[in-house]
Amino acid sequence: MTIFSKETLSNQHIKQLDRKGVFHSWSAQGSLDPLVIKSGSGCRLWDYEGREYLDFSSQLINTNIGHQHPKVIAGIKAQLDELATVAPSHANYARGLAAEKILARAPAGFDKVFFTNGGADANENAIRMARAVTGRTKVLSAYRSYHGGTGSAIAATGDFRRVPNEYARGHVHFFNPFLYRSDFWAQSEEEEGARALQHLRRTIESEGAGSIAAILLETIPGTAGILVPPKGYLDGVRALADEFGIVLVFDEVMAGFGRTGKWLALDHFDVVPDLITFAKGVNSGYVPAGGVIVSEKTSRHFEENFFFGGLTYSGHPLAMAAICATLDAMEEESIVDNAAHIGANVLAPGLKQIAERHDIVGEVRGMGVFQAIELVEDRESRQPLNAKAVGQLKAAMVESGLLPFVVANRIHVVPPCVITAQEAEQGLSIINDSLGNLRR
């Protein structure tokens, strides 16, 4: 057994322990060189040697309330002193209160919350509900999407990680709108949205509307590139779902609970789905939690019909206490308003300036603290920047004390919702300098 004295722990010790026994996700194990993190506070993280990083990733875009928020830590500790765990079949105050607080942030017409351990199993259970309510099997989802790493969730996902994991049945994909890389030869947002809706209609018709249980959509696709849908697109999807009797599920796992400058991303679009999945920002991942916000229409079906789904840790009291404390703190400290302010007044104009300075920036986009920089070889071809250059950029940012979220040819600018204007400007400055110093 490897035992180190806590007083003498170092980055080297922690990395050695990690590489000896930890199997990492989404990676080839032999080439890993993980960054060591010891502690954090707010938007800052430190390693064992005192090196500081500004977290512009929110880890996996989940620490919306920042690191070690004292009210959330206190809420978890108080629950731990009272009851550390309880079976989901029992009634528990923390669970009921968490549901009440979440429903208070949902649109009118939602009356129940089914709790899960994270976003992937939230989507799994939303799919189960849709199939049970409709008696149908197929699930339509977008190619530019990520819905989680478990059975149906990864099959619903559109990106390359789906392909070696397609074991679940009944999944069909379609192209969602993205004007910068339009699959519809569109020249405007209006054209892109209209043509994407026609494409979706033809997909429904071709697959057989009577076989389709659900349309599963990230309200704003996150991992795929922070793709804000064109005006009217989500309204059009809602209309198609109504026309063909399909359950509409909005995946708010990444975009929800303050990330876009609203409590839920769907609040920007005034479109109400039948089911809403959530996780991540609901308690910033302090204790794993997720769930499905269930409409009254859907929950009524299960008053007399058995729901074939459940988890040992559904509504775990420590996770529920973290949710209650997080949502209270976000309201008391106007954290959602801060995300909107920082996004509109610091990140958006700052990213626009970065785009104007650097030819390898093809586009910047997003809302709130949910923004992205699209990197290209050149603006005319829009060819994605090569992996070697992106790797050099990431290394340069980390070396300069910024912890970025980099996916493919994109830098996702996704700091915690509590970030200050000064911290946001510091992060943008590091990104700008790293782009300027890149040698290709």
- Could you give the CA distance from residue 60 to residue 71 in angstroms, rounded to a whole number? 22
Residue from 167, 172, 174 nearest 143 by CA: 174
Domain containing 398 — which CATH number? 3.90.1150.10
With tokens 């530019």, the residue in question is: 144
pLDDT at 137: 97
Compute the Cα dihedral for 153, 155, 156, 162 and give only its sign.
positive
Domain endpoint, select from 307, 332, 357: 332
> Counting every residue, how long is the chain?
440
Q: What is the pTM of this model?
A: 0.96
Same domain, yes or no, for 180 and 295? yes
The confidence band for 25, taking pLDDT boundaries of 50, 70 and 90, is very high
CA atoms within 13 A on the CB side of 218: 31
Burial pattern 155-179, b for ≥16 Cβ within 10 A else e, equals: bbbbbeebeeeeebebbbbbbbbbb
Tokens describing residue 197 = 């809706």
Does residue 233 surpass a pLDDT of 70? yes
| 337 contacts 416 by C-beta, under 8 angstroms | no
Domain containing 126 — which CATH number? 3.40.640.10
Question: What pLDDT, in 10s, does the model give residues 269-290?
Answer: 999 999 999 999 999 999 999 9
pLDDT at 138: 98
Same domain, yes or no, for 324 and 421? no
Mean pLDDT in residue range 77-103: 97
Residue from 212, 189, 190, 188 nearest 200 by CA: 212
Question: Crossing angle, helix 335-342 and helix 317-332, to 10 degrees?
Answer: 60
Residue 35 is given by DSSP the state: P
Same domain, yes or no, for 359 and 220? no
Same domain, yes or no, for 74 and 58? no
Residue from 233, 425, 430 nearest 348 by CA: 425
Q: Whole domain around residue 387: which residue ranges?
A: 35-68+334-437
pLDDT at 424: 98
Residue 17, in any domain of the structure: no
Mean pLDDT in residue range 56-81: 98
Question: What pLDDT, in 10s, does the model give residues 335-375?
Answer: 999 999 999 999 999 999 999 999 999 999 999 999 999 99
Mean pLDDT in residue range 96-113: 98
pLDDT at 1: 58
Query: What percent of the chain is modeled with pLDDT above 90?
Result: 96
Residue 30, in any domain of the structure: no
Q: Which residues contact 315 (CB under 8 A, 6 or more apart)?
A: 88, 92, 95, 98, 115
Q: Which residues contact 37 (CB under 8 A, 6 or more apart)?
A: 45, 46, 47, 53
pLDDT at 439: 81
Average pLDDT, the chain: 96
pLDDT at 139: 98
Tokens describing residue 306 = 């058995």
Mean pLDDT in residue range 200-228: 98
Domain endpoint, select from 267, 301, 332: 332
Domain endpoint, select from 332, 352, 385: 332
Are β-strands 290-295 and 110-116 bridged in parallel, bridged antiparallel, or unpaired?
Answer: antiparallel
Number of domains in the chain: 2
Same domain, yes or no, for 319 and 361? no
